[in-house]
Structure 1
Amino acid sequence: MKSLTKTSRRDFLKIAGTSAGGLFIGFNMFSCDSPKVEVLSTEEVLAQAKSFNSYLSISPSGDVVIYSPNPELGQNIKTSFPMVVAEELEADWEKVRVLQANLDTEKYDRQLTGGSGAMPHSWERLRKAGATAKYVLIAAAAKTWNVPAEEITVEKGMISHKGSNKKGHFGEFVTEAATMTAPDDIKLKDKKDFTIIGTPVKNVDAKEMYTGKPMYGLDFYREGMLHAMVQRAPFGMKIKSVDDGAARGVNGIKDVVTFGNSVAVVGDKTWPLLKAKKLLKINYEPDGNVESSSDHEEIFRDLITNGKAEVRRKDGNVEQAFSSADQVVTAEYQCPFLAHSPMEPENFFAHVKGDKCELIGPTQTPDRARQTAAGILGIPAENVTVEITRLGGGFGRRLRADFVEEAVHISKAVNAPVKVVWDREDELTGGAYRPAVRYRFEAALDQSGTMIGYKLRGVGMNAGNSTRENNFPSGAVDHVLIENINYESSITTNAWRAPITNFLAYAEQSFLDEVALAAGKDPVQFRLELLSRAKNNPVGELGYDVDRMIGVVEAAAEKSNWGKNTDVKQGFSVYFSHRSYVAQVADIAMENGTPTLKKITAVTDCGMVVNPTGANHQVRGGIVDGMGHAMYTNLTFDNGVPKQKNYDTYRLIRMKEVPEIETHFLDTGFDPTGLGEPALPPTGGAIANAIFAATGRRLRSQPFIEQKEFSDIKLEIKRA
């Protein structure tokens, strides 16, 4: 649905239910969608369609429309989902288009975007939706032509019967098909016969994006709505008093609203709001711990050594393994808080109207937005509607609903429709960060350099479980102890792209290189030896597929010419997350005494690749994101207030710093698994291990550029 053209579900059903001549077939899936080619307008297509369900629509013109329940934030489901449906339907791709569905928990099961789970969950559902439609269309054609259904073929939206030389497009049979029922055990295509899945397809919203069509929450406008900006309390503080006199005196300010620990200025336009917000005089007082980054250093040091830990995994006799070891390797790794920094800062529209509420904007979790509004207003959830716009990024930040809360509170207070907008400094200082974490690793080696014992203790700030206890190398070592400590911080945290593994992978993979060095073994061979043990003699539960991990390790070593290129020093890393496997090799050359990152080679096993174009973009984007945050980005606090408030001090990677990236995908025959996040975790480890290979300096904290080991050298990035 177009973000600026409000059409209610009731209106749509009213149109579809009173018209005839179309087919609307659905399947209860967590997500679905499709692209657009303008022949008839979408409104014309829908006006001719008869509603069977809310997913797949075919009009008498032969146009196919698929509703997409899941929010689109750049992970490409709005292109890949319709490819799956169109594949089984045998549709003409040029006659397929997509509409964003509004929230409807009666019709959709999992209307959210997060955890790289949309395609793995919806894969079979999407296929069945297309296959079901094709089945009844064939049945309708067979009845119309009086020929056996098994003699009918379908290709690119055309239904044919060779024996009678009859042919017609989908739209000619939708009326008859609407009266028919498909079996529950519908037959799906053999993967070898796919003609759309596995082909490169451009983003279905590409034209709208590059021509500047209003699609995002920030684009949304409604006549008569007010704008609002919010000043939030520092972490660990609460409002003591508010002097809003000067702010109210700014021309264009309609009201100042205090709610909870926040103060909002409300007006006709955003420019007066920026001015008025700076004129607010707010006094705060402590409300719990008021923390600074210097406090966190002390907290980490104490807890990592003396804290009471939760045992997440224990295999074998760890104490005996370490007491009998020929050598023990120990290291600690630490990462800072990070902001999500989506290109589009948080924003949301709310209109509270008595016992009803209308919400419009970018959210990864529309039902959470609805439930949040209902809770604030004390009304039934079904009285809240949510329209989803395209999201200008999220990375986990829009899983929360704090910006929705603000819009609802303010709309209720001023009795008017309100759009809340965060500026960049609000976005960086407004909380819900990646948790800061510290890890201590220990490895016990016998005389042959075999790792016989492994310990990991994680301490995280509001991180929950900061470990992934069933991931590699668990299962490959006889004696394992993995422990977790969660510290409750006043600084709010949230899932950040590839939660926990975004740093844990770097720390684990860097430490494994340290252990390989102590064992006198090549880093790749050391990992393959461990994986061989996990395959042939696993210990305890395995949370990963050993063969798939071996596959990406061996392929990455081959594609990168591991150990054979004397012009560069190389670093290796491999990780499993979100059901997928990614191995990476970083190449660094020493130029005039400076380590220069030349290239990153990545091999991914994410099962079947639905759209090579989108998959390539996801892997490259994950690498750039992982590299940039590992190398440059830090968020520190002074008395509950972030020191880095904008991009002049919050350092992100720049385009000129992106090296050559070479991507490869393994076709292992598995159904699609996650791809939005898995390429990020291995990147930091590959680069850090390459830096060590080139300089002999081990980097155990992020960002790299702030470590003392890095203080007298410069890492340069060069493109091919």
Structure 2
Amino acid sequence: MQTLSNASRRNFLKVAAAAGGGLFLGFNWFEANAATAVDAATTDLSLAGNVPGAVPGVGFNSYLSINPQGIITIMSPNPEVGQGIKTAFPIVVAEELDVDWKNVIVEQAPLDTKKFERQVAGGSGSIPHSWTRLRKAGATARQMLMEAAAKRWNVPVTECTTGTGFVRHTASNRQLSYGELATEAAQLPVPADVKLKDRKDFKLIGQSVKNVDNAGIITGKPLFGLDFYREGMLFAMLQRPAFGYTLKSFNEAAIKAMPGIVDVLTFDNNVAIVGKSTWQVRKAKEALKIDWTKTDATESTDDHNRIFGELLKSDKATVRRKDGDVDTAFKGAAKVVTAEYQCPFLPHNPMEPMNFFAHVRPDGAELVGPTQTPELARNEAAKLLGLSPDKVTVQLTRMGGGFGRRLKADYAIEAVQVSKRVNAPVKVIWTREDDMTGGSYRPAVRYRFEAALDAQGNMIGYKLRGASINAGSSTREDNFPAGAVDNLLIDSIDHKSAITTGPWRAPITNFLAFAEQSFLDEVAQAAGKDPVQFRLDLLDKAKTKPAGAVKYDIDRMKAVINMAVEKSGWGTKKGADGRPVSQGFSVYFSHRSYVAQVGEVVMQKDKPVVQKVVAVADCGIVINQSGSRQQVTGCIVDGIGHAMYGNMTFKDGIPEQSNFSNYRMIRLNEIPDVEVHFVDNGFDPTGLGEPSLPPAGAAVANAIFKATGKRVRNQPFIEDAALKSVL
């Protein structure tokens, strides 16, 4: 390790003579990072990260190995989609192992359902599921290392301590490195029970740690699916039908005759072009002339607006929750507030379009690529090929975004189908247009809310109906304010469409939260109450006199509200000109976490501009301050951007937006300052990759109302009739 350390010091500052006689100063910005393996495809617990000169290590468990040189390799089994899990998982293991982070190498583990559980990136569930497992993995190895040292020194293990990769015996002033103990420690019986660290003793968890892939990303290392290359592989692109269309015919002979084209296939209404290079395949795809047959299943956005109206009036909705006597409450109300909120279809638009590599052989198949659900890809491939799942391997690459789109395995199975048909290794690549027009989308929804107030402005009745297109259930019946209103009715009704939909970052709640939290502001205004206090009063009611089940933690929700009020200067903040800042509030519970946000809007040239968002999150113990703050910030930017600008429309089943030239995304100059705070309560970690997105839209919408007096009820905001005059 001394050699590596010296090399690192030399890399930190390099001084060299430039050709002109001056000095060239070079800095290594990645010194604080754990190292990363060069070639993820060779991942194996017996390897020490492919470090030059390193010898194979010994595996203590599925998560880590240590070699005699003291190099510690920690496996990160879950897919890395940009949420920082490839850094966070090893941090937890390294903390309990009590090792210096600089001596850790992180490798992406392949799919292995025997060694690992839940190798999935979705639902913000990776850390909650693996928190204790990861800690035990590190603590178990640490205990075995101490036992090996105690045995060598012939002292009680209780007299041994650890720190920065060494076992120490203070009484005799002796110490041994983990590398010196690794071989004999790994041969000891695995302890059934190990003691985990007290939180007060954490040295790594809760600090800011740079992402382990930073250096590779910035220097262009091949980390992503699109980077993957195998000598001799072919490339394929597919033309998929619009929604509600079937393939009739196409100019097959002309396409096959084009340069570099190896084959042209049809399956599942798709036309697949296979060739020797991406460019040749792309040019052939552009030359396709396809005759499609239109079916009765095609729909347009105008049809959806009509369908929403019918669904909201329908008597066939499914009741999700009913408390008290709703009809009586509304009949006796002093005031009734009614509003409808609507959200459109949205594409996922990850920076890296869908792609996957497959090599199907008679005895098995190899899959490599970016997937949030590698086990699903393996199982679907095995089913298609008639193989046992253990005959299909899946190697994970880093993903350039996913946001739920890569929970599906359709693009991986396309690669499997093409590889099988052409009997060669194949990489399927989607273009940006394919990615945006080929599905799957966030479902479109319209919500109708009704609230009944008594003479004192108390909400005594609440009704919510979700009318959706391909969402299934578009409501969350146990979310706040459920449990805080004596008389409550929540139901939903869904329309089945040929337009394919799927999970979109923070499924359902990504648009439900905007509607719910905006409507609560409307009710608070009608009641003549401060919107924050209105929510706090409802939470007090849920705690002292709950109406039915309360499935959220009232105290944790109140804690994020109160901190957000404090940190944002709610109701008292003034701008540089001395005028009050227009603030909007929102709070939401999803994916086991609580997030409150205050949006700040200022008027510039008579137009509302989102200036700042103050966010307070309760996600339990924060593992990596750096990664966690980036997650909250990213969620808020994503939430605001899509609420204000995102819109996917259809004409006769054909998407009307196909690239960023006609699909509006938030721009750099429109991103507000985001101030992030965490509640430090010591609870086990909960989700963070999604919970900060749902409340973002409402925080901004409520601030816009404060600034303009215009209530926005439709996404995207820029197309809402109430705001067109001021945006």
Answer yes or no: same fold by TM over 0.5. yes
Distance apart, 1:44 and its partner CA: 5.4
Q: Report the Cα offset of residue 6 of structure 1.
A: 3.5
Match of 2:200 among 189, 192, 195: 192
Cα separation, 2, equivalents of 1:668 and 1:215: 36
Q: CA offset at residue 246 of structure 1? A: 2.3
Distance in 1, matches of 2:670 and 2:315, equals: 40
**What letter matches 2:601 in structure 1?**
I
* 1:667 aligned partner: 680
| Residue 232 to residue 530, structure 1, CA distance change in 2 (3 Å) | same
Q: Read off the aligned partner of 2:131 and give its amino acid letter.
A: W
Query: 2:37–2:106: 8 Å Cα contact kept in structure 1?
Result: no
Indicate conservation of the 8 Å contact 1:4/1:221, yes or no.
Answer: no
Shift, 1:535, TM fit: 1.4
Alignment of 1:240 with 2:253, yes or no, is no
Offset at 1:589? 1.9
Summarize the alignment of residues 250-269 of structure 1 with structure 2, pairs less than 5 Å apart. 250-269=258-277
How big is the shift at 1:543? 2.1
Q: What is aligned with 1:485?
A: 493
Q: Of the candidates 639, 652, 669, which is equivalent to residue 639 of structure 1?
A: 652
Q: Which residue of 2 aligns with 1:87?
A: 95
Deviation at 1:243, TM superposition (A): 2.5
Name the structure 1 match of 2:529.
521
1:589 is aligned to: 602
Change in Cα spacing, 1:43 to 1:73, as seen in structure 2 (3 Å) is farther
CA contact (8 A) 1:609 1:672 kept: yes
Tell me how far apart the structure 2 counterparts of residues 654 and 569 of structure 1 sit (CA, whole Å).
22
1:43–1:538 CA distance, 2 compared to 1 (3 A): farther
Q: Write out per-residue CA displacement over residues 272-310 of structure 1, whole angstroms, 9 at most, x where no aligned residue.
A: 222211222222224551111111000001001125111
User: 1:118: which partner in 2?
Assistant: 126
Which residue of 348, 352, 362 maps to 1:340?
A: 348
What residue number does 1:22 align with? none
Residues 170, 4 of structure 1: alpha-carbon distance in 2 compared, 3 angstrom cutoff? closer
Q: Distance in 2 between matches of 1:446 and 1:283?
A: 62
**Bigger CA drift: 442-451 or 171-180?**
171-180
Residues 571-604 of structure 1 show CA distances to partners (whole Å, capped at 9, x for unaligned) of: 1000011011111111112234222222111111
Higher mean C-alpha displacement, 505-514 vs 299-308 = 299-308
The answer (yes or no) to whether the contact 1:3–1:216 under 8 Å persists in 2 is no
Aligned-partner Cα distance in 2 for 1:489–1:412: 31
Partner of residue 165, structure 1: 173
> Shift of the alpha carbon at 1:691?
0.7
**Is the contact made by 1:116 and 1:677 (CA closer than 8 Å) also made in structure 2?**
yes
Instruction: Determine if the alignment matches structure 1 residue 530 to structure 2 residue 538.
Output: yes
Per-residue deviation, residues 401-439 of structure 1 (Å, max 9, x unmatched): 110111111111111111000010000001111000111
Query: Aligned to 2:635, what secondary structure does the other structure show?
Result: helix
Instruction: Determine whether 1:394 maps to 2:402.
Output: yes
Number of the residue aligned with 2:612 = 599
Cα contact 2:352–2:399 (8 A) shared by 1: yes
Q: Does residue 362 of the first structure (1) align with residue 370 of the second (2)?
A: yes
Q: Secondary structure at the match of 1:667?
A: coil
Change (3 A) 1:111 1:383: same
Q: How many angstroms apart in 1 are the aligned matches of 2:496 and 2:584? A: 35
Take 1:56 and 1:594, find their aligned partners in 2: how far apart are those partners? 55
Instruction: Report the more deviating stretch, 70-79 or 590-599.
Output: 590-599
1:2: how far off?
A: 5.9
Aligned residues: 687
**What's the TM-score once normalised by structure 1's chain length?**
0.93
Cα distance in 2 for partners of 1:151, 1:355 equals 54
- Give the AA of the match of 2:490: I
SS in 1 for 2:41: coil
CA displacement at 1:183 relative to structure 2? 3.3
**Aligned equivalents of 1:262, 1:165: Cα separation in 2:** 71
* TM-fit CA distance, 1:155: 0.6
The whole-number CA distance in structure 2 between the counterparts of 1:193 and 1:2 is 29
8 Å Cα contact 1:513/1:523 also seen in 2: yes
Cα distance in 2 between the residues matched to 1:42 and 1:325: 72
* Counterpart amino acid of residue 103 in structure 2: K
The alpha-carbon deviation at position 384 of structure 1 amounts to: 0.9
Q: Distance in 1 between matches of 2:181 and 2:691?
A: 43
Of 428, 431, 436, the match for 2:436: 428
Q: Residues 549-568 of structure 1 correspond to what in structure 2 (within 5 A)?
A: 549-566=557-574, 567=579, 568=581
Verify the 8 A CA contact 1:84 1:610 in the aligned structure 2.
Answer: yes
Q: CA deviation at 1:182?
A: 4.0
Say which SS state the counterpart of residue 420 (structure 1) adopts. Answer: strand
CA 1:489–1:393: 2 relative to 1, 3 Å: same
Q: CA deviation digits over 1:474-527, x for unaligned, max 9?
A: 011111100011211110111000100000000000000000000000000000
Q: Contact conserved, 1:3 with 1:215, CA < 8 A, in 2?
A: no
Q: Note if contact 2:60-2:141 (Cα within 8 Å) is conserved in structure 1.
A: no
Say whether the 8 Å CA contact 2:62–2:116 is kept in structure 1: no
Q: Compute the TM-score of the two structures, normalised by the length of structure 2.
A: 0.93
Residue type of the alignment partner of 2:99? A
Structure 1 equivalent of residue 69 of structure 2: 61
**Partner of residue 309, structure 1:** 317
How far residue 43 of structure 1 moved from its aligned partner, in angstroms, is: 7.2
Quote the Cα distance in structure 2 between the aligned partners of 1:261 and 1:94: 52
What is the alpha-carbon distance in structure 1 between the residues aligned to residue 332 and residue 558 of structure 2?
Answer: 30
1:511 pairs, out of 515, 519, 532, with 519
CA distance in 1, matches of 2:453, 2:59: 66
The Cα RMSD (Å) is 1.5
- Per-residue CA deviation, residues 548-572 of structure 1 (Å, 9 max, x unaligned), is 0000111111111111124311110
CA contact (8 A) 1:315 1:479 kept: yes
Name the residue aligned to 1:201. Answer: 209
* 1:577 partner letter: S
Structure 1 stretches lacking a partner, 5+ long: 17-37, 715-720
Q: CA deviation at 1:185?
A: 2.7
Question: Could you say what secondary structure the match of 1:448 adopts?
Answer: coil
Secondary structure at the counterpart of residue 708 of structure 1: coil
Give the aligned partner of residue 107 of structure 1. 115
Question: What is aligned with 2:458?
Answer: 450
183, 191, 196: which one pairs with 2:191?
183
Measured in 2, the distance between the counterparts of 1:485 and 1:600 equals 34
| Matched residue, 2:467 | 459
Are the structure 2 counterparts of residues 439 and 414 from structure 1 closer, same or farther at C-alpha, using a change threshold of 3 Å?
A: same
Which deviations, in whole Å up to 9, do the C-alpha atoms of 1:525-554 show, x marking residues without a partner? 000000111111112112211000000111
Query: Equivalent residue of 1:454, what SS?
Result: strand
SS of the residue corresponding to residue 266 of structure 2 reads: strand
Deviation at 1:194, TM superposition (A): 0.6
Counterpart position of 1:28: none
- Code of the residue aligned with 1:671 in structure 2: it is D
Give matches, 1:465-476, under 5 Å: 465-476=473-484
Alpha-carbon distance in structure 2 between the residues aligned to 1:531 and 1:249: 69
Report the equivalent of 2:419: 411
Aligned to 1:700: 713
